[in-house]
Amino acid sequence: MHIADGYLSPATVAVSFIVTVPLWVYGFKKLKEKLNEETLPVIGALSALSFVIMMFNIPVPGGTSGHAVGAALISILFGPWIGFISVSLVLLIQSIIFGDGGISAWAINSFAMGFVGSFVGYYIFKLLGNKKFAPFISGYVSIVAASFVVALALGIQPIFWSENGNPLYFPFDLKITIPAMVGEHLLFFGVVEGIFTQVVYNFLTKKEKAAA
């Protein structure tokens, strides 16, 4: 789901950073409030786990790829702002060190997978209450929502930025990106994300209850 450099117009990149930078600033404030000797190791471990699962990219028809994220899990346990910042930092490291996702696309990738994924997952979980499969549904809906944002960002490129009918950036429009991205996440990646969220959430909560 990582968008690479060169896929987005300069205008899209500029708008994405204008929108996301204030969210990062506020998110770091919330992270600072949450961090302590107990939460730091767990948040760090979950961020590392998110890093690992995002490295397993599976190609998707339409010019991009899919993978699990882990935003819903972190947001359920520590709040959506923490999930957003954690995923954003993971995406930054991946883009700089591994070239997985572009630096110019860092803001839109963070907004889609980090902000949208975390907040959707968190509020779905809250809406469902502490029901047995709430983590699974939260993870599932979270990543599908994130994929929709990525599909929109990519799909508008040939609509608004073409020259003589030739796309200047990402070449496929919404008719391809939405079915490709959202469809694959509805059918496969959402299930993977849901299972991941459910299994790790159950493990951590059982461990916490046992310690209590």
Give strand pairing partners of 162.
167
The DSSP symbol for 197 reads: H
Of 208, 144, 205, nearest in space to 179 by CA: 144
Q: Which contacts of 37-43 are long-range, i.e. CB under 8 A and separated by 24 or more positions?
A: 39/78, 42/77, 42/78, 42/204, 43/74, 43/78, 43/82, 43/86
Alpha-carbon span 7 to 171, nearest angstrom: 8
> For residue 149, what pLDDT is reported?
96
Beta bridge partners of 58: 66
The reported pLDDT for the residue numbered 63 is 55
CB 94 within 8 A of CB 86: no
Reported as half-sphere exposure (CB side, CA atoms, 13 A), residue 64 has a value of 35
Q: What is the pLDDT of residue 135?
A: 95
CA distance 71 to 97: 21
Terminal Cα-to-Cα distance of the chain (whole angstroms): 39
The half-sphere exposure of 170 on its side-chain side, counting CA atoms within 13 A, is: 28
**Pair 110, 14: CB distance under 8 Å:** no
Quickly list H helices, the chain: 10-34, 39-54, 71-78, 80-93, 106-109, 117-128, 134-155, 157-160, 174-184, 190-211
pLDDT at position 144 is: 96
CA-based Rg of the chain, rounded to a whole angstrom?
17
Rounded distance between C-alpha atoms, residue 78 and residue 91, angstroms: 19
Instruction: State which residues of the chain have pLDDT below 50.
Output: none
Helix, strand, or coil (residue 38): coil
Cα–Cα distance measured from residue 83 to residue 46, given in angstroms and rounded to the nearest whole number: 10
